[in-house]
Chain A
Amino acid sequence: MKMGERKFIISSSPHIHDGSLTPRIMWGVSLALLPATLVSFYAFGWDAVRVILVSMVSAVVFEAIALMLRNRRPRQAMDGSAALTGLLLGLTLPPGISNAMIMVGTFVAIIVAKQVFGGLGQNPFNPALTGRVFLLIAFPAPMTTWPLPRDLTSQISSLKSFLGLAVERHADVVTGATPLGAVKEHMLKALPHINMGDLFFGLHTPGSIGEISALAILLGGLGLLVARIINWRIPLTIIATVFAVAFLYYLAVPPKVSGMSPVSAAFYMAVFHVFAGGLMIGAFFMATDYVTSPIFPKGQIIFGIGVGLMTIIIRLWGGYPEGVSFAILLMNALVPLIDRYTMPKPFGWVDRRA
């Protein structure tokens, strides 16, 4: 070939890439939720499978419809972000929830919280949490009815009360209180029955299907940290803040736990608040959502402390037993402001007032 005959591709530098891809990150986060998903299948059986399937599929379908309405390629619905939203929402629902309600949740998550704002990367509020909180406010009773997990129901003949509160027998299901609910309602009665091992492993605890096992969430969270999809700042600051405030609170207002010194009782309660409810899944999987959390290191720390504070304030003094969802959504609203004030100065920056 003679000089100048060959044609080449022209593009702006750089001409190489590390190979990372947004859909791979999204599916990677979903994969990190696999331990929690498997625990939910074990604990709640086909009900959990149904909740997660309906949630994920309907989320992707809503996403595809919205993309078509916006003249985008509906194939983009398979980029993993809608499926992840569906999975996260499903994992935060009680096992007995109806399919119609799940779909209302995914509609709110995908359409109202995400696509209306411009789709991927544009939503100010975490879509899954927006869907969940909508359901909580719209359908408070089904959203707080907690069927007992399999390992608990198998002891049903002997089980008259759980966590010091009576279990309810319905036609086809037995329900009880979540640990957080029990402590909120009747601390003294509930406290002696709370077993930290149950909270950690989750197989004997009623709750949202994906939140019951702190261990399963931790495994996935560690995976995200190791894969460097998330960093430690947000989860660690949330957990540390909840732990610290709870510890101080129970030092000031000591719970009466027989055989325990006030300090160890306060410590016990602080650990309880870290493992109970949605704190773990919130800290590792919801608050770390790239789109709705601060982007700069300092901001991530401020955000994490904020989420921790709001969570424990709602739990200790608020009307709801659980506050993680509200705390994260509230802090989501502050993200633009946090980003604005935590933007680092360029290398070699000289103060212009000087």
Chain B
Amino acid sequence: MISKTFRGGIHPYYGKELAASRETEKLPLPDQFFVSLEQHIGAPVKLLVKKGDEVKAGQLIAEAGGFVSANIHAPTSGKVTSTDPVDHVSGRKVPAVTIKADGNDEWVDLEPVDSPESADPKTLLDAIRRAGVVGMGGASFPTHVKLSPPDDKPIDTLILNGAECEPYLTADHRIMVEKPREVLLGALLEARILGASRLFIGVEDNKPDAIKALEDEVEGLQLPENIKEISVVPLETKYPQGSEKQLIKAITDRNVPVKGLPMDVGVVVSNVATCYAVWDAVYNGRPVIERIVTVTGRGVVEPGNYWVRIGTPVSHLIEAAGGYEDDAAKLIIGGPMMGFAQGTDAVPTMKSTNGVLVQTRDEVQGPDFAPCIRCARCVEVCPMNLPPFLLAAAAEAGRYDVLDQDVLFSCVECGSCAYVCPSRRPLVQFIRMGKAYFRGQKKGK
């Protein structure tokens, strides 16, 4: 088996063994949900409920505020107790709906699409839009928008992203092992909407059970007419293999241009968990109010994977995983490479929350950063072929005038450079600072 890959990248300790073989359990419902109203990229939502309202599971509580936006639904039945802002993964407080669960978990009536295999793309797109599906791999871009490329960007290839290169996380791994059929059916729907003739499922070769499960399922699949080629593609286990442009390069050998999108090279990439959500939305009419979250790291007693309703506080998840170890020191939403460190576990889960990682004290302490010695390691590992040391140095010195914005914004913030820097320089942080400067300038205009 020869695994495909891209240039650059790193081989960190993956830590997947902590949770990879733990079957996904249903997380008991908490008493209180905090449903963030900032769960996607695009226009803000319009709130449809107010304090005191009774809601049911799956009920629309906030409506998309435009085409590039996504609906938000109640995760269970209960009463809206507040619409005040609550903690958000970003560290800010953002508007949210607080729901006190009544414990009955009553659902609204769901409206699945009739005979999905023959439904027209418009109907499918509408079902996906209504269900509030967004990219569940982390980006949270509304899926119905991604599946509606302009006419001058024909799509011939759909790639399912099952790389899950982020260390420690196993949510995508579990969904591929436990729900391969649903994932593939969702993918076929996406392919039909796009008119794609090729479907590739990219999976890192450290997940042979997922590759096997998908391959078995592909064999028994009734392929629609539009699909001419379908295969599971093993990828080298290397970070950031699941980064969109690197994934496309590895599988199709196409280069997504700087400032461009996958659709510029006829490709759409969709995360496996997103495909599952698409399947759920179309076949069951169920909106996105649940997903798999990995709770892991040396800082929790019993790592595992859970079906979690959106809006569940992280503290509730940690409790289910046996609680914190005594030396738990860092709480991260997401993985160790690109996740967000949290100050509090009161923060709720969102549609894009694929993992909660708790690190121990000895895992997080390191020496202060020192001057760059130009060792070139960051240059070697950068998957985008950038000079991270230069971008960071310019931003650190406030020399924004020497920064080429096209180069700077090519950075995907994967963190490979900072991971290998022997001077422990916070390269990604400096680069983010540079990006923030230019974003601020644009806003000022």
Contacts and interface: CB of A to CB of B under 8 A. Distances in A.
Is the A/B pair a real complex?
yes
Interface of A: 3-4, 6-18, 20-22, 24-25, 79, 81, 119-122, 290-291, 293, 295-296, 343-350
Nearest to B422: A20
Contacts of A9: 329-330, 341, 364
Q: Which of A3, A8, A20 has the most CB of B within 10 A?
A: A8
Contacts of B255: 347-348
Contact of B385 (A12, A24, A345): A345
A21 B415 contact: no
B384 A346 contact: yes
Interface string B21-63: 0000000000000000000000000000000000000000000
Contact of B245 (A11, A122, A345, A347): A347
A71 to B, nearest CB: 15
B137 interface: no
Nearest to A6: B345
A348 B245 contact: yes
A13 B344 CA distance: 17
Interface stretch (B71-79, B208-216, B367-375): B367-375
B241 to A, nearest CB: 14
B394 interface: no
B387 A343 contact: yes
Of all A-B residue pairs in the complex, the 8 with the closest CB atoms, nearest first, are A14-B415, A4-B346, A121-B371, A12-B429, A20-B422, A3-B315, A346-B410, A16-B336
Contact of A4 (B259, B344, B407): B344
A119 B421 CA distance: 19
Contact of A8 (B13, B313, B344, B419): B344
Nearest to B344: A4
In terms of DSSP, what is the predominant structure of the interface of chain B? loop
A4 to B, nearest CB: 4
A295 B389 contact: yes
B374 A121 contact: yes
A8 B385 contact: no
B258 A346 contact: yes
A10 B90 CA distance: 11
A12 B413 CA distance: 11
Interface of B: 7, 10, 12-13, 91, 167, 245, 249, 255-260, 313, 315-316, 324, 328-332, 334, 336-346, 357, 359, 363-364, 366-367, 370-377, 379, 383-387, 389-390, 406-407, 410, 413, 415, 418-424, 426, 428-429, 432
A13 B337 contact: yes
Contact of A16 (B7, B334, B371, B419): B419
A20 B376 CA distance: 13
A18 B419 contact: yes
Given A3-B345, A14-B336, A24-B422, A119 B371 contact: yes
B245 A13 contact: no
Contacts of A293: 374
B12 A18 contact: yes
Contact of A17 (B332, B373, B383, B419): B419
Contact of B339 (A7, A15, A18): A15
Given A18-B420, A25-B422, A296-B379, A10 B371 contact: no
Contacts of B406: 346
B364 to A, nearest CB: 6
Given A8-B329, A24-B422, A3 B346 contact: yes
Nearest to B384: A347
A87 B344 CA distance: 50
Given A22-B373, A347-B384, 11 more contacts: A4-B344, A6-B331, A7-B343, A8-B341, A13-B339, A16-B12, A16-B336, A18-B12, A21-B367, A347-B258, A348-B258
B384 A290 contact: no
B390 to A, nearest CB: 8
A3 B429 CA distance: 29
Contacts of A343: 387, 390
A216 to B, nearest CB: 25
Contacts of B374: 121, 290-291, 293, 295
Contacts of A8: 328-331, 341-345
Nearest to A20: B422
A22 B377 CA distance: 12
Given A8-B330, A13-B413, A347-B385, A3 B313 contact: yes
B176 to A, nearest CB: 24
B257 A13 contact: no
A13 B341 CA distance: 8
Nearest to A350: B257
A11 B341 CA distance: 6
A15 B341 contact: yes
Contacts of A346: 258, 384-386, 406-407, 410
20 contacts: A3-B313, A8-B342, A9-B329, A13-B334, A15-B330, A16-B336, A16-B419, A17-B418, A22-B375, A22-B423, A120-B373, A121-B374, A121-B423, A295-B374, A295-B376, A296-B376, A296-B379, A346-B386, A348-B256, A350-B260
A348 to B, nearest CB: 5
Nearest to B255: A348
A77 B250 CA distance: 45
Nearest to B91: A10
A295 B410 contact: no
A54 B337 CA distance: 45
A15 B375 contact: no
A17 B424 contact: yes
Nearest to B420: A18
A145 to B, nearest CB: 36
A290 B375 contact: yes
A124 to B, nearest CB: 11
Given A347-B384, A348-B245, A14 B375 contact: no
A52 B260 CA distance: 57
B13 to A, nearest CB: 7
Contacts of A7: 343-344
A19 to B, nearest CB: 9
